[in-house]
Amino acid sequence: MSLREILGDDAAYFGPSWPLDRSVGVNPLHGVIHHDSDAALDAVAARLGTSTWPSASHFDEARRRDIAVTTPDVPLIPSRPGTVAERQLGDAAATLVTVVGSVLLELATSGDTSEATSQMASILRSRTGWSGASRRLRRRAAELLLANDDELLAPLARWSRAGQREELARHGARLVGWMSWAAWSDEWMREAHHASISRENVLRLSLAVDLAALEVARRDSGEEPSTPSASTAAAVRRSLDDAVHADMLERLSRPSQPSPRATMQVVTCIDVRSEVLRRALEHDSQTATIGFAGFFGLPAAVVEDGASETREGLPVLVAPSVQIRGGVAPSGRRREALALAGTMAELTHEPEAMFAVAEGAGWIAAPWLIGGVVAPRLRPSGVRESGEWRLVADDVVSLAEGALRGMGLTKSFADDVVLLGHTATTAANTHAAALQCGACAGHGGGPNAAALARELNDAGVRAELRRRGIDIPTTTRFWAGEHNTTSDEVNLFGEPSPALRGRFATATAMMRRELDERWHDSVGEVRRGATVRTRDVADLRPEWGLANHAAFVIGPRSSWRGVDLAGRAFLHSYEPDSDPSGEILAFILSAPVVVGQWINATYFFSSVSPDVLGAGDKTLLNPVGDFGVISGTTPQLRVGLPWQSVAVGDRPFHLPTRLLVAVEAPLARIEVAVRASATVRALVDNGWVRLVGRASAQDEWHFWQSGVGFGVATEKPAALAC
């Protein structure tokens, strides 16, 4: 019997947590998507002693927004049974969790985790600052930690394999943040990271500390734990799902505006914040918009002039295979300032150094800090300069062709085609990367847009594309830029005409008015100006990010042009006639939609379980290294988003529902695309997302039935009858 064998599939129970500077939205239960979603949510609720369903306040907020919903009886939060040691030792068990967290925190910030087991044992023997953890307990825990699996697991030998797995699952559940970081270290880390820790490290340490505590207390391991039973929470979740999804489907069923011949086409990211900008742009009848993943199909690592590190300019699900090079190298003084800022950031993130730095550098930093609060307009804006970005790849033409076909942009080109990435700027924010798209590891899409535009303007590339069936007129010019979602600005690169800039100025003014009204309605105050929001180091909520999203919509823009989706939908353009093989649809479902579900789960859990599966109160968070945050001095890594990203005070802003995936395409093609990916099939069949489809804008929506697909006519949920 080995620890690895007992873990089995449950080793991947918790999803990965990316480092802070490249964080993305993640489903914290991604490891169990092949199980029924309600059963998985009930199990984690019982193990964690937390809620995994919307509260009464979420239903109240839905009604305030005129969403027809009835509040069901909300189940009580389950008691927290925890591990065997927690059940037997009662209040003293809190010390054990502190010990485990403290060891992991010291290990992760040591700068080298290559000998993790021996390092953890050494920390256990040498540390004396844990109240309630006797020297005898710590020494015995160190011995068990270094023992072979037979000795470590001997107290569990009389249990069934199911009981053993349940015990280890409970150990993982009480260390969610560390298990999530370990999941990234085990499965997603592409280059060596000084703070990497394996899931086996985490569970071995936790088990050793618990067993040592039981020995010291002269108690055996007791009865084996039983698997948590199902609760009635599923009905609560579905009630809010049905109401919010019915509202979205009613909007998606409204008639669209006609699509005249466009003189300008704008390709934006599928991000929900782009939906508002797209409607504003399309208020000009000669402007058409296209939704496409904001890395523009370029699987590239971005190498910026003057930067010390390469970053990945693509979703984390994809590995980079080409490079984008260029940008604007900072001046000598600016480069030195950036280097100093980076050094200070590293020092202030280390638990052993942060307080010393605060003491020693406080007087020096005071003017900067006070200025960032009192006069944020004087701080640098963070707006990207355009520079020159170039794509470095063996086959540039194929990348350009793939991007255009993925956009559905292979004919009827306008005179001006704008590729618009997006970014976000904010000051002194540990979760700044979360305000980016949620998929591309906290990096803006401007370089990708600029590199692709450069290639599409190249005569040689156009000539080869023409031979492949994509004829770009000589009158067509591609432009690039970035939509800053914090400042509500569009920064166009290069030298577009005043008329082109004017069209964007008009659209951004319209977008700001709508967002100002939404902000006032949700926060109850006038939204501060862009300059303040992006530069104020004390701003707890510079923007709403992806909060309040509800749907992922795939289909022709003509079906929803002019339809107000209130910034609540990811919009991915898809032209069924241009994809007879269904390959493009299969890719959209297997990559952007999967990432969308991760984002959806991040906001869901941060809303329903802010203190366990969310980061909690933002004002209490401290960064550790570059890999996570802790609340105050508690040595447990936090996952998810701060409470201020999903709520205003005690009032919710984000309505926690599963993601509604609405696809307009032949139903048979949707079924084939779903079944082409085991991950997509698991998400759909096990209820992690709700899938609806229709063949055209004139048809009704059909609902996917688990194990059946669209093949059998079944009644839709009553709340969704629209």
Residues 6+ apart with CB under 8 A from 362: none
Residues 6+ apart with CB under 8 A from 359: none
Q: 471 - beta bridge partners?
A: none
Q: What are phi and psi of 715, to 5 degrees?
A: -70, 135
Surface-to-core class of residue 354, CB atoms within 10 Å of its CB (0-12 exposed, 13-18 middle, 19+ buried): middle
How far apart are alpha carbons 631 and 666 in whole angstroms?
49
Q: How far is CA 433 from CA 21, 429, 497, in A?
A: 6, 9, 33
How far apart are alpha carbons 2 and 165 in whole angstroms?
12
| Two tokens, residue 577 | 């006639």
Strand duo 659-664 + 551-555: pairing: parallel
Amino acid (one-letter) located at 716: K
Strand duo 477-484 + 416-423: pairing: parallel
Query: What was the pLDDT predicted at 714?
Result: 42
Q: How far is CA 643 from CA 217, 297, 315, 525, in A?
A: 39, 33, 25, 19
Residues 6+ apart with CB under 8 A from 625: 108, 109, 194, 195, 349, 350
Q: Which of 386, 486, 381 is nearest to 432 (CA)?
A: 486
368 membership: H or E segment, kind and range: helix 354-374
Q: Which of 57, 28, 31 is nearest to 45 (CA)?
A: 28
Q: List, in sequence order, the alpha helices (H) in 415-497.
A: 446-456, 459-467
Residue 603 in contact with residue 641, Cβ under 8 Å?
yes
Residues 6+ apart with CB under 8 A from 367: none
Q: Which of 156, 169, 155 is nearest to 227 (CA)?
A: 169
Residue 492 in contact with residue 501, Cβ under 8 Å?
yes
Neighbours of 93 (CB within 10 A): 19
The helix/strand/coil state of 48 is helix
pLDDT in tens, 358-390: 556 665 655 655 555 555 655 555 555 567 899
Q: List, in sequence order, the alpha helices (H) in 494-613.
A: 498-523, 530-535, 583-590, 592-608
How far apart are alpha carbons 565 and 127 in whole angstroms?
56
The helix/strand/coil state of 658 is coil
Mean pLDDT by 10 residues, the chain (722 residues): 74 84 89 91 88 94 93 77 87 88 94 93 86 88 95 92 89 93 91 91 95 92 81 91 97 92 96 96 96 91 82 84 83 56 55 56 58 57 68 96 95 96 88 83 88 97 98 98 94 95 97 94 88 82 94 97 96 95 96 95 96 94 92 93 95 97 97 96 97 95 92 50 44
Which residue in this structure is represented by tokens 């701060």? 642
Query: What was the pLDDT predicted at 372?
Result: 59
Which residue in this structure is represented by tokens 């409970």? 170
How far apart are alpha carbons 237 and 496 in whole angstroms?
49
Query: What was the pLDDT predicted at 354?
Result: 55
How far apart are alpha carbons 662 and 677 in whole angstroms?
18
The helix/strand/coil state of 140 is helix
Query: What was the pLDDT predicted at 460?
Result: 97
Q: Which of 628, 568, 649 is nearest to 26 (CA)?
A: 628
Query: What was the pLDDT predicted at 139?
Result: 95
How far apart are alpha carbons 298 and 705 in whole angstroms?
35
| Two tokens, residue 175 | 């260390």
Region of 327 on the Ramachandran plot (φ > 0 left; ψ -120 to 50 alpha; else beta): left
- Rg (alpha carbons) of the chain, rounded to whole number: 26
Residue 197 in contact with residue 104, Cβ under 8 Å?
yes
Query: What was the pLDDT predicted at 712?
Result: 45
Amino acid (one-letter) located at 641: L
